[in-house]
């Protein structure tokens, strides 16, 4: 699918990129300075990935690129050319919630919800590669994200629940 880019009169010379986002192919001409999170939100309309600090500190903008969690505010869209990107919108498949999403609901792992997608994507990287992650590994991932509501206890319970679900099913 080809997606329209920004207004060419207000941007620098564009660069054509092709990438796969949540299983769909996209081709767009983008300003070489556009961040991946801005591309996802402004060009593709995938707004579940939020923008927080814009300095790579908070983790709100986490997405998976080739299976690795990255801060979307620190990666340029052109750096995602030819790569596989997965956002929080891509977690659920076939109308069925991902075990991480189920766990966040069951454990009330969100308050305002602003940071939730970032936590989910960071946990997704860990738990899809290691469904039997240790308590310390879960703490490290949760501790690498910021929640302005300080809901870390429920987020940690959600992480433990997700690990139990994914370890049991081999997801």
Residues 45, 77, single domain; the answer is: yes
Q: What is the 3-state secondary structure (H, E, C) of 94-163?
A: CCECCHHHHHHHHCCCCCCCCCHHHHHHHHHHHHHHCCCCCHHHHHHHHHCCCCCCCCHHHHHHHHHHHH
Exposed/middle/buried for residue 8 (C-beta within 10 Å: 0-12, 13-18, 19+) = exposed
> Residue range 87-108: average pLDDT?
97
What is the reported pLDDT for 8? Answer: 47
Q: Which residues form the domain of 42?
A: 2-90
Helix (H) or strand (E) holding 17: strand 15-21
Work out the percent of the chain whose per-residue pLDDT is above 90. Answer: 87
User: What CATH number is given to the structural domain containing 104?
Assistant: 1.10.150.120
Report how far residue 50's alpha carbon sits from residue 116's, in angstroms, rounded to the nearest whole number. Answer: 9
Residues 26, 77, single domain; the answer is: yes
Domain end: 90, 118, 145, which one?
90
| pLDDT over 60 at 6, yes or no | no
Residues 83, 127, single domain; the answer is: no
| pLDDT over 90 at 169, yes or no | no
Nearest to 127 by CA among 151, 154, 100, 157: 100
Report how far residue 163's alpha carbon sits from residue 101's, in angstroms, rounded to the nearest whole number. Answer: 12
Residues 109, 82, single domain; the answer is: no
Please count the structural domains in the chain. 2
Residues 74, 113, single domain; the answer is: no
What is the reported pLDDT for 48? Answer: 96
């Amino acid at each position: 699918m080809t997606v329209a880019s920004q207004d060419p009169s207000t941007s620098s010379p564009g660069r054509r990129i092709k990438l796969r986002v949540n299983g769909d192919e996209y081709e767009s001409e983008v300003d070489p300075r556009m961040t991946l999170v801005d591309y996802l939100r402004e060009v593709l309309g995938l707004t579940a990935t939020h923008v927080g600090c814009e300095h790579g500190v908070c983790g709100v903008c986490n997405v998976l690129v080739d299976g690795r969690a990255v801060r979307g505010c620190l990666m340029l869209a052109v750096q995602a050319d030819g790569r596989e990107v997965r956002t929080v919108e891509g977690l659920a498949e076939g109308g069925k919630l991902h075990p991480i999403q189920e766990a966040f609901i069951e454990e009330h792992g969100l308050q305002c919800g602003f940071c939730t997608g970032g936590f989910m994507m960071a946990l997704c990287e860990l738990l899809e590669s290691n469904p039997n992650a240790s308590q310390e590994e879960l703490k490290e991932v949760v501790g690498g994200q910021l929640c302005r509501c300080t809901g870390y206890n429920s987020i940690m319970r959600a992480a433990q629940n997700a690990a139990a679900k994914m370890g049991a099913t081999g997801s």
